[in-house]
Amino acid sequence: MSPRGRRPAGENARGAILEAAREQFAEHGYDRTSLRGIARGAEVDPRLVHHYFEGGKAELFAEVMHAPVNPAAFIADVVAGPPEDIGRQLVRTFLGVWDDPDNQSALLALVRSGLTNEGITDQLRGFVEQGLLGQIMQAHPVTAGLPLRERRRRAGVIGVQMLGLIISRYVVELPGVADAPAATLVERIGPIIQAQLDS
């Protein structure tokens, strides 16, 4: 858009970064998109990307996807407490975000397009794997030290819980999940997740 060498300032720079991020996530998927590449696409200094998007790639992705939450803040909440509470805290924080009617329809729209549009599925997979599960595995002293293969398996079981929760509580509205108080699900699903982190 802007001629070569010109550096957009203020909101223009922010807009250019988002525009470049949107293009590169769509073209390369989440995994192979880098902040450096986005800065290059937007013709801005990489430090400016960090300035506008402290939460890095995950935050940029959420903004491009019009997600109502900043994943960096979400993860910070989840790992703020003791490692032995990450499982329950993940479910607690997650349901806090999803049960909020201000967020729910935007999140549902995002998940629905992630399930039906292959291009978006690719991006969403990378984000769930690296941006969410990867960060959580990193935050726990046991899982941070595991070999990649075992770590992926455990992250996979956690992914099953989170994707299963979304689909059964908000999409299919399965009785026993859709009508359960959040605290009940924290007690039922939290320990299943925790078991993947401990031991």
Positions that interact with its own copies (CB under 8 A): 112, 114-116, 121, 124-125, 128-129, 152-157, 159-165, 167-168, 171-177, 180, 184, 188-189, 192
**Nearer to its own copies by C-beta: 64 or 137?**
137
Taking the complex as a whole, the smallest distance from the CB of residue 57 to its own copies amounts, in Å, to 17
3-state secondary structure the chain: CCCCCCCCCCHHHHHHHHHHHHHHHHHHCCCCCCHHHHHHHHCCCHHHHHHHCCCHHHHHHHHHCCCCCCHHHHHHHHHCCCHHHHHHHHHHHHHHHHHCHHHHHHHHHHHHHHHHCHHHHHHHHHHHHHHHHHHHHHHCHHHHCCCHHHHHHHHHHHHHHHHHHHHHHHHCCCCCCCCCCHHHHHHHHHHHHHHHHCC
Taking the complex as a whole, the smallest distance from the CB of residue 112 to its own copies amounts, in Å, to 6
**Nearer to its own copies by C-beta: 68 or 159?**
159
**Nearer to its own copies by C-beta: 50 or 188?**
188
**Nearer to its own copies by C-beta: 80 or 172?**
172
Taking the complex as a whole, the smallest distance from the CB of residue 163 to its own copies amounts, in Å, to 4
Q: Are 128 and 61 in contact (CB under 8 A)?
A: no
Taking the complex as a whole, the smallest distance from the CB of residue 157 to its own copies amounts, in Å, to 5
Taking the complex as a whole, the smallest distance from the CB of residue 15 to its own copies amounts, in Å, to 30
**Nearer to its own copies by C-beta: 21 or 180?**
180
